[in-house]
A and B are shown apart, each in its own frame.
Chain A
Amino acid sequence: MNADFITPLDAFTIIDLILMLMLLIVGLAIVRLNDIFAIVMLAGVYSLVSALWFVSLDAVDVAFTEAAVGAGISTVLMLGAMLLSSRTALPAKPVRKWASFFIVLATGAALMYAVTDMPSFGDPLSAPNAYVGLEYLKRSLPDTEIPNVVSSVLASYRGYDTLGETSVILTAGLGVMLILGMGGKINGQLKKKAIDYDNADAQAHHTVLRVVSKMMIPLIVLYGFYVQFHGDFGPGGGFQAGVIIASAVILYALIFGVDAAKAAVPPLVVRIGAALGVLIYGGTGIAGLILGSNYLDYNVLDPHSAPHGQELGIMSIEIGVLITVCSVMLVIFYGFTSRQPDITDKDW
């Protein structure tokens, strides 16, 4: 801990405090509620506020991911699970409440004791900030020619970690498939019954939604690709782009029916995509091996220029991440929707 550094009480710190207090209020509201729908919505609000908070602390990539994942996909999955289960939670018994409260109080007190050892907020010379992070900031541009340090650290310096995480996502997709089924049964039914794209019932109720989403969906996909390929220069990358593109398909499924979405993006394609992305990632590593260097070393990918090789490698593995993340999100969504008939009109 650097005792010389004093956190200034400037506008940024004040904004930080206000957002933190908002998070606290939302968190406590979640504790008190028993209506699952309200809880899920508040969880979405919580994610959105924390995304704002991440922006105020310069973590733009994290904010982007939190907004797309926490406030977007998580909420959809939670709502899906809620529709398949129940809408109200039983209130906890007083004994359990008090027991939990004392456990939490004791744990919290122990953690509070450790707070005095933490570095001051914004301290540039604290242990986390002064060493390896600074080194990455200095070396990233000469090494990889990629301005976004988060992208270069994610994909190149710490490529192994990200390979592991991409595999975890694939594994989660496999887990959902094994628990809820492949979501592929509809494939066979599709041939028998024509998909009712414009059923009169839905049209009568959701005219605005249908018209607006018809215009929005191509833009969302386009934005997803922008996020993917601009991720080297600004916030973004494979993780965020994958979630955004998946959310476009999910929006399509919510408005026009899951059958229509499955006709557009068949479950088989999604299943293959989930594995293909990890294969592309791992294959990029193997390409490095074949060209005579270490696994996931991109310097050798371009024999003339190491930074350009890095750029190529990073782009290649980001595409792998995009494919896996997008596919797994859809595998999960299809898995949930295969458990029930389409979300009916009255459930909206």
Chain B
Amino acid sequence: MNGMQFLAGHFNYIVVIILMMTGLYIVISTGNMVKKLTGLGVFQTSVFQLYITMGKVTGGRPPIVAHAPEGAEHAAANGGEHGASTADTAVRMVHDMADVPVNGVIYSNPIPHVLILTGIVVGVATLAVGLALIVRIRETYDSIEEEDVEEAEYKARKAANA
């Protein structure tokens, strides 16, 4: 496996990590709470992408298993008509490696999809709780900047102690 091939196979992971760090950077660097939550969203989506990347199978279809479509077995077993292209070679390789195809068709892995599907909905639910807290903070402190809130809190403590 040379450098170019390694890059093709791992490009997604590299971009996912950069996106993850972008999200983390937004969360740490900004004091604005709504922007922080957006950063958390970017971070969260990058985790989803990491999972989905791992579940992809070259030449695969979405994991909706019908009874074997007519001719699919034949076409898949031959790796398509034009055996020369790299994609077809890869597909044929997939077939040769093991009993990976189901009914003669390759499917992508459904498990990451299941995990992430529910993860997205749970993500929006938690986002809503976060935004609700922000709205309450704004009502109490009249600001959604971290520094303002901390300053107001500090002043209130000082006043209480005095």
Residues of chain A having any CB pair with chain B under 8 Å = 3-13, 16-17, 20-21, 23-24, 27-28, 30-31, 34, 36, 39-40, 43, 46-47, 50, 53-54, 57-62, 65-66, 69-70, 73-74, 77-78, 80-82, 84-86, 89-90, 92, 96-97, 99-101, 103-105, 107-108, 111-112, 115-116, 118-126, 128-130, 132-134, 136-138, 140-141, 147-150, 153-154, 158, 161-162, 165, 168-169, 171-173, 175-176, 179-180, 233-235, 237, 239, 243, 325, 328-329, 332, 335-336, 339
Contacts and interface: CB of A to CB of B under 8 A. Distances in A.
Secondary structure at the A interface, as helix, strand, loop or mixed, is helix
Contacts of A17: 11
A31 B39 CA distance: 8
A97 B17 contact: no
16 contacts: A10-B90, A16-B12, A21-B15, A27-B22, A30-B39, A39-B35, A53-B49, A57-B108, A90-B145, A124-B58, A132-B111, A134-B100, A153-B110, A168-B125, A233-B64, A243-B121
A153 B55 CA distance: 15
Contacts of B107: 58, 137, 149
Contacts of B120: 62, 65-66, 69-70, 239
Contacts of B62: 58-60, 235
Nearest to A137: B102
Contacts of B58: 7-8, 121-124
Contact of B48 (A11, A62, A81, A123): A62
A102 to B, nearest CB: 10
A12 B52 CA distance: 15
B75 interface: no
A82 B34 contact: yes
Contact of B9 (A7, A20, A132, A168): A7
A154 B12 contact: no
How big is the B interface, by class?
A: 35 or more
Interface string B33-48: 1110111011001001
Given A65-B121, A81-B34, A161-B118, A24 B144 contact: no
Interface in B101-136: 102, 106-118, 120-129, 131-136
A65 B132 contact: no
A327 to B, nearest CB: 12
Contacts of A13: 8
B143 interface: yes
B65 to A, nearest CB: 5
Contacts of A59: 52, 55, 62, 108, 112-113, 116
Contacts of A132: 111
B20 to A, nearest CB: 7
A62 B114 CA distance: 8
B160 interface: no
Contact of A30 (B26, B64, B125, B129): B26
Contacts of A137: 63, 65, 102, 107, 110
Contacts of A130: 98, 100
Contacts, number: 352
Contacts of B93: 4-5
Contacts of B15: 20-21, 23-24
Nearest to A333: B128
B42 A46 contact: yes
Contacts of A81: 34, 131, 134-135
Nearest to A168: B122
Contact of B29 (A21, A97, A121, A335): A97
Given A8-B90, A27-B42, A89-B32, A149 B65 contact: yes
B102 A180 contact: no
A54 B126 CA distance: 22
Contacts of A103: 24, 28
A54 B37 CA distance: 22
B137 to A, nearest CB: 8
B6 to A, nearest CB: 8
B129 A179 contact: yes
Given A70-B124, A124-B58, A239 B118 contact: yes
Contact of A141 (B60, B65, B89, B143): B65
Contacts of A24: 15, 18-19, 22
B113 A10 contact: no
A168 B128 CA distance: 12
Nearest to A154: B114
Contacts of B126: 172
Contacts of A180: 132, 135-136
A173 B8 CA distance: 43
A46 B45 contact: yes
